[in-house]
Amino acid sequence: MMYSISEHIEFLMTRHDCVAIPGWGAFIANYSPARYDEDSMTMHRPCRTVGFNASVTHNDGLLAQSLMRREGLTYDEAMRFIADSVTSFRQQLAKDCEVSMGRLGYFRRVQERITEFVPFFRADGCDQFYGLDDLSIKTVAALEQQRAVQEVEEPRAAIVPQGRNLFSRKAAQIAASVAVLIGMGVMLTTPIVVDRSNQQLASMAPTVTAPRSAQLGVTVEPGVSAQPITPVEQSQSPTIASVGNDKGHYYMVIATLRNNHELDAFKNKYPQLVPSMKLLDYKGMMCVYVARSDDYNTLMDLRDELPKALRDVWIYN
């Protein structure tokens, strides 16, 4: 199965305030209204964040209906898939102490039997107020105090720096004059080569001539060696091909398959990824990965190169 419940939960959280995963817990949206901070004189925007409550384990039917609607599953198949996903979450949490939930956030094990959900700040699908910024709003008393300070400082600024301003204007005039003289010197001392070998003189007979291409002459003065021109290398963002899949502590897993039949079907569906595919044995399952690296964030940055259906990757170590 090439789908995950994470993307279904992301979709449902944009439209509901609570989405329950039977046997695991429930994601709950928390609203914070707009508020004004008098100390910083800032109007903070309203926000919507996602939290998690492990005590809510009942089945509200939203997740199963989403799987039935998009993946074409029956209700029993959807419930079995949810149960298998919860089992996989528990196994991964026990082994790696961390489980990713796509763009919502991730679970991590703090102690032996305590699990904590860490939401991503302004994650996709979590914040319906995305795009609003905090506003700096000064009170009337603060504006009056600022105006009083300006009225005191403006007379001082008008009296003290007269000589300094005069010196600054004269320095600017001198600098402009020096720049003009340097430009004229460069123009007058640069030799102009006139090529008269193919010069056409004026005549009474009308003629039609094609325009000549301009020639660029470079003169090297005696005793001065020409410096080689080194091309500037442009930095490129990492790609799956540049990162490679031969070494690295972390694996970028894009699918977990049960047999060769599913592997052949997966290759036929994504032929552009076949040159980068390699297999990893994980508890009797075939894990397909396309890149390896010692840097976790490098692999996460490669997700945009994958097809949209595969961007909910599993970083395995």
Q: Which stretch of 10-14, 95-99, 213-217, 255-259 has the lowest confidence by average pLDDT?
A: 213-217
User: Given a cut of 70, is residue 131 above it in pLDDT?
Assistant: no
Q: How confident is the model at residue 44 (pLDDT cuts 50, 70, 90)?
A: confident
What's the confidence (pLDDT) of residue 194? 45
At residue 4 the predicted structure's pLDDT band, cuts being 50, 70 and 90, is confident
- Give the model confidence (pLDDT) of 48-61 as tens digits: 788 888 888 788 88
pLDDT value at position 124?
Answer: 44
Is the pLDDT at 252 greater than 80? The verdict is: yes
User: For residue 124, which amino acid is it?
Assistant: D
Contact yes or no for 48/30 (Cβ under 8 A)? yes
Range of weakest confidence among 92-101, 144-153, 227-236, 290-299: 227-236
What mean pLDDT comes out for the span 113-122?
A: 76
Cα–Cα distance measured from residue 279 to residue 263, given in angstroms and rounded to the nearest whole number: 10
Q: Given this model, what pLDDT does residue 232 score? A: 41
Average pLDDT value for residue range 253-260: 88
Contacts of 85 (CB under 8 A, 6+ apart): 4, 5
Q: Does residue 239 have a pLDDT over 90?
A: no
pTM for this prediction: 0.41
Task: State the pLDDT confidence band at 168, using cuts at 50, 70 and 90.
Answer: low
More confident residue, 227 or 95: 95
- Orientation of helix 62-71 relative to helix 5-13, angle to 10°: 110
**What pLDDT does 233 receive?**
47
- Scored b (16 or more CB within 10 A) or e, 7-20 reads bbbbebbeeeeebb
The pLDDT of residue 114: 75
Using the Cα atoms of residue 183, residue 185, residue 188 and residue 190 in order, give the sign of their dihedral.
negative
- Yes or no: say if 32 and 49 are a contact pair by the CB < 8 Å rule: yes
Count CB neighbours of 239 within 10 A. 13
Task: Categorize the per-residue pLDDT at 64 as very low, low, confident or very high, splitting at 50, 70 and 90.
Answer: very high
